[in-house]
Structure 1
Amino acid sequence: MVMSLFKRWATQLQQQTQRPAYLRIADFIAEGITTGELPSRYRLPPLRELAEILGLNYTTVTRGYAEARRRGLIDSRPGLGSFIRSKASSASALPVSSYEMTMNAPIEPVGALTEEALRAGAINLFNSTDMLSLMRYQDFGGNAEDKAAAMLWINRKLNVENESEILVCPGIHSALVGIMTLLKRRKGAVCVSNLVYPGMKAIASHLDVKLKAVLCDESGPDPAALEAFCRAGEISALYINPTLHNPTTLTIPDFRRRALAEVCRRYNVSVIEDDAYAALSDLHIPAFAELVPELTWYVTGMSKCFGPGLRIAFLKGPDRQAVERLSAVLRALMVMSSPLTNALARQWINDGTAERMLDEIKNEAKIRQKIASLYLSQFEYQADNNGYHLWLPIPKMINSNSSDVAVKLREKGISAVSGIAFCTDNNPVEALRLCLGGSQSRHQCEENLKTLSEMLTDPIYFSGMAI
């Protein structure tokens, strides 16, 4: 997997760009850390070996590693090599008040009532359930009760009547691994937006599936550009994150969804609809699974609208046969989703705790988005009132790229993700994704947004940085 990553770097370096190659090496390392392709303590190739792989000279790669060390991404030890820094060692350089804005985690509701409801539901489950049954192997996809709860959750946005088209999976990411593994049997690339969830990039790299970026505008992927790829026979599937897109926060409007769906129907292209944030949105827009149900793999879940510790996803396939094929793939990859996790999710959905949790997350998101609008009013950024992340282009007066800006912010205790982590077209957008759900404290959120605003309005903070 990692060697294919370095080969991808080589391909991207061949494309012309004004950004120096040594800086791009550091960018690639930062992106690999974000996607998980470069885990903590991973030993990077020796300088000469990487230079040969990338088709660069030794000096350029040496400067690239030096830049990565300057950003706090790697450690180098004479005679031992260069290693990805562990999370612990990276965090040790940060102030104690560090505010995590990198992981796109939902805001935790404030107050004891919601926590008590969670606890009461769990106790009720454990008191009324044969606990040994939750410790046994089960068929992949969940039992009838799990699927009934999944349908209740999915039916907030999509009408599902047949449980044979439903699978309960151990998280959306796992479901995407299974779908991509199944679709790999076909020829052709998977079409994606120019900015995409880093986990999808990691999955594609691991499975050696080519991602092809389609031209996008303010409404999402361009149907004409998608059709051009389809007409050339280059596309096997379209991956789409249509609601509260990660990272741009865009919700694709009705007219654009219909146009994209029609292209997919005309060329028989599968749709992977990653609707992780659907429950947060108050908009009622048809899902691709409604517009082209015969082609769509619809995936939603609870980690992004309940809590990341509840690793559970609900998947609807194009038809029963397709679901059975995917079930076999996922069973081989993951054996089954945890019956204990399934039971907890089922309990909280059925007793109303999940709905209550969702409402509180949305209410707190609105409050924090309002705070963000006060401190970031002088900047052009994208956000949704119900979402808990925002997309902030780097102000032009700051003569630095987003990766360097992110490093400087970390020095002040603010973690953010550079736009390069989401890039699929080798044309990085100089922007940051910021998550407002990184702390239970609303006050801490406000203090860090204030610090962020002060830094972005005063270029002196970023003077002398590489561009």
Structure 2
Amino acid sequence: MSGGETTAPIDMTRTWAPQVPAFREVVERSLTAVARAPDLVSIIQRHRFHGSPRDKQAGADWLSNRLGAPPNPTRLLMTGGTQNTLMVLFSRLASQGAAIAAEKLTYAAIGQLAMLGRISVLPVDIDEDGMRDDSLESLCKAHNLAAVYINPTGHNPTTSMMSLERRQKVVRVARKYALPIIEDDVHGLIANNAPPPLASIAPDLTWYLMSVSKCLGIGLRTAYLIAPSDDGLADLLRPIPSVSSWFVPGLSAAIITHLIESGAASHIVGQISKEIAARQDIAQEMLGHLGMMRTNKSSLHVWIDLPSPWTAEPFIQAARTKGVILRHPRVFATPGTNVEQNIRASLIAPSTHEDLRRGLSVLATLLLSRT
């Protein structure tokens, strides 16, 4: 910097779908199509509830790209996003005072949602392959768990990609103890060559959740939920028919369905995957040689092992003084989990490749300084 110029801070906290060239054009086409639809007034002025039959069929067809075959649309809902859906699932599967299991490092909202429902979250040990089945079984033996929440594909925050063998082992434990699985597959459609989801291995046990936030856009505020059975879905919905907070926004549903039916959604996902890969290449170039970074080619972020004597708080403060903003890893920790030796850095939040390089350069310098 010179001549009194200042450079805006580089935010590396959040992960969402990266901007890609085709997005504006295809969304404009979908918006135009929806605006010209004969039922536009109903789309705006009426509840869409959990999607029209057309919405559900389009969603089932699209999710077949991940599941291997289209799920029965009678088991599928469109909802108002991941967090609203998790709140409903937690409240219906677990009574107040009950416990659910989750990876010891997990999606930052899990603890907050469980707290709202007065539900305990019990940590399951993880390794480089994700949730450990032996640790889950130990919890099942010691506690009457209501469900297990798991993010096996591009785990947030560690980026691990659970192997097929481990998925099968986790399913065996869940089946042994009749434990419902809540699978958050938010990265599933952007994860190249990922093993099949748990919902494909154990569809009768799994509540499968796929948000469009990472593969289309977080502003659409929409997720898909696939229930283990028609009866399970009916039981979920029966007591809460008028709770509209998790209904899908009508305009979002119409836009997403048009994107799917036109083929634009798959095109966007392909472009997003390419952009993520390009940013991963930059991360490998800037940090890979340090041997402190964990990631996978489809991940929106990297998970950094801090060298001694660094711990999270001093590292975050040092980065901030150099214009890089990071989140404290404690937001991902379940109760009793120490996570002071790691940092998650988003590769997507920086708006340009140049900003990403600048941010990663700051992190590399700090990691090498160790002071």
In the alignment, the residues of structure 1 paired with residue 285 and residue 172 of structure 2 have an alpha-carbon distance, to the nearest angstrom, of 41
2:295 to 383, 403, 422: 383
Higher RCO (Cα < 8 Å, 6 or more apart): 2
Could you list the per-position Cα deviations for residues 77-134 of structure 1 after superposition, in whole angstroms to 9, with x for gaps in the alignment? xxxxxxxxxxxxxxxxxx642122111112111x3x4321221221122123421111
1:279 to 189, 193, 197: 189
Deviation at 1:301, TM superposition (A): 1.9
Instruction: State the TM-score, normalized to the length of structure 2.
Output: 0.92
Specify whether residues 359 and 330 from structure 1 end up closer, same or farther in structure 2 by C-alpha distance, changes over 3 A only: farther
CA contact (8 A) 2:79 2:246 kept: no
Is 1:119 matched with 2:31?
no
Q: State the percentage of identical aligned residues.
A: 26
* Counterpart for residue 3 of structure 2: none
Deviation at 1:338, TM superposition (A): 1.0
Deviation at 1:330, TM superposition (A): 7.2
In the alignment, the residues of structure 1 paired with residue 71 and residue 135 of structure 2 have an alpha-carbon distance, to the nearest angstrom, of 35
Could you list the per-position Cα deviations for residues 153-177 of structure 1 after superposition, in whole angstroms to 9, with x for gaps in the alignment? 2111112342110010011121111
The residue type equivalent to 2:344 in the other structure is R
The residue type equivalent to 1:239 in the other structure is Y
In the alignment, the residues of structure 2 paired with residue 364 and residue 448 of structure 1 have an alpha-carbon distance, to the nearest angstrom, of 17
* Counterpart for residue 57 of structure 1: none
Deviation at 1:254, TM superposition (A): 0.5
1:212 to 116, 122, 133: 122
1:20-419 aligned at under 5 Å gives the runs 96-109=7-20, 111=21, 113-138=22-47, 140-158=49-67, 159-185=69-95, 188-328=98-238, 329=240, 331-332=242-243, 334=245, 336-376=247-287, 377-396=289-308, 399-419=309-329
Instruction: State the TM-score, normalized to the length of structure 1.
Output: 0.74
CA contact (8 A) 2:49 2:244 kept: no
Could you list the per-position Cα deviations for residues 384-419 of structure 1 after superposition, in whole angstroms to 9, with x for gaps in the alignment? 1122211011122xx232123112212222122222
Specify whether residues 335 and 345 from structure 1 end up closer, same or farther in structure 2 by C-alpha distance, changes over 3 A only: same
In the alignment, the residues of structure 1 paired with residue 194 and residue 345 of structure 2 have an alpha-carbon distance, to the nearest angstrom, of 26
**Which ranges in structure 1 are unaligned for 5 or more consecutive residues?**
1-94, 461-467
In the alignment, the residues of structure 1 paired with residue 46 and residue 354 of structure 2 have an alpha-carbon distance, to the nearest angstrom, of 45
CA contact (8 A) 2:48 2:249 kept: no
In the alignment, the residues of structure 1 paired with residue 48 and residue 60 of structure 2 have an alpha-carbon distance, to the nearest angstrom, of 18
The residue type equivalent to 1:267 in the other structure is Y
The residue type equivalent to 1:266 in the other structure is K
The residue type equivalent to 2:39 in the other structure is D
Q: Which has the larger radius of gyration?
A: 1
In the alignment, the residues of structure 2 paired with residue 391 and residue 369 of structure 1 have an alpha-carbon distance, to the nearest angstrom, of 12
In the alignment, the residues of structure 1 paired with residue 213 and residue 325 of structure 2 have an alpha-carbon distance, to the nearest angstrom, of 21
Q: Number of aligned residue pairs: give it.
A: 362
Could you list the per-position Cα deviations for residues 243-278 of structure 1 after superposition, in whole angstroms to 9, with x for gaps in the alignment? 000001111100111011011111100000000110
